């Protein structure tokens, strides 16, 4: 089987509500999505998606995905998409780094490989759990009242897991954490996501002020050096996501004991092939996981769900469904959707969901 054509679409995905990170420092309203269709000489078509969370969040850039694919496409055309490692090496040789530009191609190849094997991607990767995965909300809010309102909006849709964005003024952060914990329902999973918003000193101030609550913090500081510097000075479990980009990051975090949880974002780490290695590092070191798309449509959510299904139930805290934050649906309601706050693995071979191509507009590029 050979890759014969790569078609690239650019789609804007507006957010239903303006979204604030780092206590209001960063605002997001529209996501720049790249959808990739890979065709083969066997008549099997695969779909991939790469949707960074805006341009200001981390070094990942929507137009950069399309530019990266332009550079990599000549090296990927003609390869067997079922040989995902060959495709990965070809992309890494053609364009070192730029992992976020590679994930849509990797995803489309896994979609094709699954269809060719007549297996959902998770089963092709070695076996997928059918235990529905809780969906974590994404609570971007600035104050206590707005935080309560956003969490209640998610609870009304069945959500039992919440990622509450903090990382601004530390006094306000402490007040918001205490309020959320005070109103927390039995069995709810809550992660406090700082998104790198604190200095080392600010992190230690909030973590020690909230030590009695025994809550999880995600990415409290900018870098792994910062997280290493405060490790041992606080008692809170830490998740790392923005600083978990490469396999070398994963091995450093595991070896040096910098986190108890990996937040694996498929687009950021370069797709399923690379993320599966991080999963194995985590499992080998007693590290639990959240698995998410960086953003995007139901396609991106489904890719993350497949990886989550390959993680033992006890080690996978939650996934994310960015689709619930968008005003457009490029797949007409198909694919895994929120059922009582959970996503269910599709049984269809491959990814298990395709977009409506006529909702994507004209292609941004076609490579043959």
Residues that bind Mg ion (CB under 5 A): 193, 218, 241
Do residues 103 and 35 touch, judged by C-beta distance below 8 A? Answer: no
Give 82 or 162: the residue with its C-beta nearer to Mg ion: 162
Annotation marks residue 265 as catalytic: yes
Smaller CB separation from Mg ion, 220 or 346: 220
Q: How far is the CB of 354 from Mg ion (least distance, A)?
A: 28
Residue 28 in contact with residue 55, Cβ under 8 Å? no
- 37 belongs to the catalytic site: no
What value, to the nearest 5°, has the Cα angle with vertex 11 and ends 146 and 109?
110
Output the CA angle 254-310-237, nearest 5 degrees: 35
Nearer to Mg ion, 103 or 294 (CB): 294
- Computed over its alpha carbons, how large is the radius of gyration of the chain? 20
The phi-psi region of residue 149 (left if phi > 0; otherwise alpha if psi is between -120 and 50; otherwise beta) is alpha
Residue 196 C-beta: closest distance to Mg ion, Å: 9
CB of residue 78 to Mg ion, shortest distance in Å: 38
Q: How far apart are the first and last CA of the chain?
A: 15
In the numeric block, the tokens 């650019």 are attached to 10
CA distances to 17, 31, 122, 315, 329 from 23, rounded to whole Å, are: 16, 20, 36, 29, 28
Q: Which two tokens stand for residue 37?
A: 């269709």
What is the spatial distance between Cα 135 and Cα 319, in angstroms, rounded to a whole number? 5
What's the min distance (Å) between Cβ of 270 and Mg ion?
18
Residue identified by tokens 């590679």 is 102
Whose Cβ is closer to Mg ion: residue 173's or residue 218's? 218
Strands 133-139 and 316-320: parallel
Q: Which has the closest alpha carbon to 110: 73, 139, 84, 80?
A: 84
User: Which CB atom, from 123 or from 218, has the smaller least distance to Mg ion?
Assistant: 218
From the candidates 27, 142, 214, 265, which is the catalytic residue?
A: 265
Shorter beta-carbon distance to Mg ion: residue 241 or 288 = 241
Which one of 165, 214, 233, 274 is the catalytic residue? 165
Shortest separation between residue 242's beta carbon and Mg ion, angstroms: 7
For residue 109, give the 3-state DSSP assignment.
Answer: helix
Q: Are strands 261-265 and 288-292 parallel, antiparallel or unpaired?
A: parallel
d(CA 122, CA 125): 5
Going 32 to 49 to 269 to 206, the CA torsion angle's sign is positive
Q: Which is nearer to Mg ion, 265 or 306 (CB)?
A: 265
CB of 219 to Mg ion, least distance (A): 5
Query: How far apart are CB 232 and Mg ion at their closest, in Å?
Result: 22
- Residues with catalytic function: 165, 265
């Amino acid at each position: 089987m050979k890759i014969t054509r790569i078609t690239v679409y650019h789609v804007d995905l507006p957010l239903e509500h303006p979204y604030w990170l780092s206590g209001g420092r960063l605002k997001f309203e529209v996501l720049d999505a790249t959808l990739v269709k890979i065709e083969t000489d066997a008549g099997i078509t695969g779909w991939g998606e790469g949707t960074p969370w805006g341009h200001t969040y981390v070094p990942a850039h929507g137009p950069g995905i399309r530019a990266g694919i332009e550079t990599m496409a000549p090296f990927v055309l003609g390869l067997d998409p079922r040989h995902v490692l060959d495709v990965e090496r070809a992309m890494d040789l053609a364009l070192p780094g730029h992992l976020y530009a590679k994930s849509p191609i990797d995803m489309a190849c896994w979609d094709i490989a699954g269809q060719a094997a007549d297996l959902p991607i998770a089963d092709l990767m070695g076996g997928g759990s059918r235990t529905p995965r809780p969906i974590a909300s994404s609570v971007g809010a600035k104050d206590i009242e707005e935080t309560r309102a956003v969490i209640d909006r998610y609870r009304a849709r069945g959500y039992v897991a919440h990622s509450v964005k903090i990382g601004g003024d530390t006094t306000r952060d402490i007040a918001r954490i205490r309020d959320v914990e005070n109103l927390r329902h039995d069995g709810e999973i809550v992660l406090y996501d700082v998104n790198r918003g604190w200095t080392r000193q600010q992190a230690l101030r909030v973590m020690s002020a909230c030590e009695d609550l025994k809550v999880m913090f995600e990415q409290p500081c900018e870098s792994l050096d910062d997280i290493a510097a405060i490790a041992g000075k606080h008692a809170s479990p830490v998740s790392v996501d923005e600083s978990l980009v490469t396999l070398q990051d994963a091995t450093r975090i595991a070896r040096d004991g910098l986190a108890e949880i990996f937040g694996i974002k498929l687009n950021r780490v370069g797709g399923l092939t690379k993320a599966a290695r991080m999963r194995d590092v985590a499992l080998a070191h007693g590290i639990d996981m959240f698995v998410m798309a960086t953003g995007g449509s139901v396609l991106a959510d489904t890719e993350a769900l497949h990886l989550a299904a390959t993680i033992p139930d006890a080690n996978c805290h939650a996934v994310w469904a960015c689709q619930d934050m968008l005003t457009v649906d490029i797949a007409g309601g198909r694919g895994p959707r929120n059922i009582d706050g959970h996503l269910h693995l599709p049984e269809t071979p491959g990814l298990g969901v395709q977009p409506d191509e006529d909702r994507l507009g004209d292609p941004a590029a076609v490579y043959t």
